Structure 1
Amino acid sequence: MIARRRRWLRDLPARMALKLFNRPRVRIMLGRKYGKALYIHQPALPSLTGIDAKIVGALEKDGIFITTIEALGLANGDRVVGEAKALAESFAQEAHEQIAKGEVFTFVPPDRVIDYPSIYLLGLQDRLLDIAESYIGLPPAYDGVTINYTVADGREVSTRKWHRDWEDRRMLKVALYLHDVDEGAGPFQMIKRQDTMQNDHDGFNYELADHATLVERLGPSYADDIISCCGPAGTVIFTDTARFFHRGKPATARDRMAIFYSYFAQNPRHPFLCERTGMPRGDVVRLTTALPQRQQSAALWRKRLSIALRIIPPAGL
């Protein structure tokens, strides 16, 4: 109870800021600024070809594209899978202990992930930034990486319920499976019907969605468009978790281990609801100091915010 109260107090400034940003006059102003920014940046968007263009086209149409780390040919891809899998496996016992104590969302602690720079830096490769920028329509912010460990307890709680992410109007999540994932291992699922009731005109309200909510938002046949992303180790999923409802299906037969990389615009609509990977800002600075300007701008996106926005502590996971 005390811990819950502390989390509520910690997140209170961000919740209050979200209410302010959704007042009618404020949200209309923000929407106009957003539309203008998209228009100005449009000529500078990357020109994509091959599979990269197909990824962005699929994201625009259905909000998802599934491929493999081999097909993408990302530098150090195999190394990242190996390192992240070893980290996740070493965390397995701790994850089970946390679940037994009542935790609902378990992930490898960021201070352990940061000891393997290749895992973090993979998300800053130009190809991924090009894809993110082309889809988002603005210079992309990189919100880091998490290694999620889903215990096969069958519970439909937290991110295992249908929801939409709250950082921005559009987002890109890139998931990478560290082992074979079937229906019993809790695959990532999404519904390829955009929730058109969330926008700058009508406002943004976030909640975990039950069947009745999904029927209201997406129509009674929404289940026909559920995509269950099963696949072997090395499967890569590109998806927009802001425009589309998604979840981790409750795992029942075996635990699931996966990496998640996160992107949104460098001036996101809700910066106080970002930084959900928990990575210390000092470590991010250390890892990116020697990188090109584009990578630094993506990773250190908070520097572009106004002072008023920078002083609002981000909400927790």
Structure 2
Amino acid sequence: MTILKLKARARWLRDLPSQTALAVLNEKRLRLWLGKRHRAAVSRHARRLPDLDAIGNDIVAQLNRKGVCVTTLDALKIHGAAEVVETAWALSSDFAPEARALAAGGRQFIIVPPAEIVRNPNIYRIGLHERLLDIVESYIGLPVAYDGVAINYTVADGQEVATRKWHRDREDRRMLKVAIYLHDVDEEGGPFQCIARQDTIRNDIDGYRYEFGEDPLLKARLGPDYIDDMVSCTGPKGTVVFCDTARFFHRGKPATARDRAALFYSYFASPPRHPFLCERSGIDRGEALGMIEGLDERQRRAALWRRQLSPVMRMIPPASV
């Protein structure tokens, strides 16, 4: 057996518990019951949602309408965020030669080593800022689970692979990715893109199936003119993109002229529908615990969301990235 086949076999074995759990949770009677319980939880929590200012309300309204909203760090006024962007930009710049070598060797999804974030914990902690948690909770409708942050690095090789293909994320019914550009990003620099038409097929009634959005599938699910509602999120350094990556097809456009580096913060409900498909940042639980020292109870609960899971769900190991 070749090394590639051995690796594929090992990955299949590692992911067997999570894939089994996904199949069980999609059994019709169970998923209908889970859906009913979820709707009741959202209804109960509605009266406890945070009060937002005009900017926050506009972000949530845009997310509900089209799944994506583009703004700036200056508009959000998050204390310390500008310094985080400068730190992350320096880390991504130092990592650039290694990223290009990894891409040349066939690596499809490239991030700055998570250890660099652990050594610079403010990059992680800014994702727990109360302003971000308020926006996320108001959109999702439930207490927030924070799945950490990664510095994504896209090499300008024009390859349409991995997350550069149209897809939907698997963690929950609704979720938010918050991307922050570390430099100016134009159309040739790999902007984040979203198709602002909700795919209504995947839900508690019809079940959850995951596939890349090739053109025939997108035409069948969203309509033959789906490309008319594609939003390409270009912008200067400090641009912030909010997107529901669970409900809407999205991708990083293949970069052709310039590499692209961006922070990606991940959020979903606590607990999420598929906790075994979470924990994608590469930061382990012990490292996360060390970075939230001194934060308030709400922030800690968001970061330590796994503690809200049932004993059975905590036993299922997370799927491989």
1:68 aligned onto 2:64? no
The answer for the alignment partner of 2:20 in structure 1 is 16
Amino acid in the other structure paired with 1:58: Q
CA–CA separation in structure 2 for the residues paired with 1:161 and 1:178: 22
What per-residue deviation string (whole Å, max 9, x for no partner) do you get for residues 227-276 of structure 1? Answer: 01111111000110000000000111110000000100011000000001
The answer for the alignment partner of 1:125 in structure 2 is 129
1:161 aligned onto 2:176? no
Extract unaligned runs of 5+ from structure 2: none
Q: CA deviation at 1:4?
A: 2.7
Q: CA RMSD in A?
A: 0.8
Identity rate of aligned residues, in percent?
57
Alignment counterpart, residue 247 of structure 1, candidates 235, 246, 251: 251
CA–CA separation in structure 1 for the residues paired with 2:72 and 2:90: 19
SS of 2:283's partner is: coil
Matches within 5 A, 1:1-317: 1=4, 2-317=6-321
CA–CA separation in structure 2 for the residues paired with 1:12 and 1:148: 27
Q: CA deviation at 1:80?
A: 0.6
Amino acid in the other structure paired with 1:245: F
CA–CA separation in structure 2 for the residues paired with 1:189 and 1:10: 31
CA–CA separation in structure 1 for the residues paired with 2:15 and 2:281: 15
- TM-score, with length taken from structure 2: 0.97
Q: CA deviation at 1:309?
A: 0.5
CA–CA separation in structure 1 for the residues paired with 2:189 and 2:14: 33
CA–CA separation in structure 1 for the residues paired with 2:138 and 2:306: 21
Amino acid in the other structure paired with 2:126: L
What per-residue deviation string (whole Å, max 9, x for no partner) do you get for residues 192-211 of structure 1? Answer: 00001111000010011100
CA–CA separation in structure 2 for the residues paired with 1:156 and 1:4: 22
SS of 2:136's partner is: helix
Q: CA deviation at 1:5?
A: 2.5
Q: CA deviation at 1:111?
A: 1.2
CA–CA separation in structure 1 for the residues paired with 2:15 and 2:255: 29
SS of 1:123's partner is: helix
Q: CA deviation at 1:8?
A: 2.1
Extract unaligned runs of 5+ from structure 1: none
What per-residue deviation string (whole Å, max 9, x for no partner) do you get for residues 130-187 of structure 1? Answer: 0000000000000000000001111101100000000000001100000110111110
Q: CA deviation at 1:278?
A: 1.4
Amino acid in the other structure paired with 2:116: R
What per-residue deviation string (whole Å, max 9, x for no partner) do you get for residues 115-139 of structure 1? Answer: 1111101100001000000000000
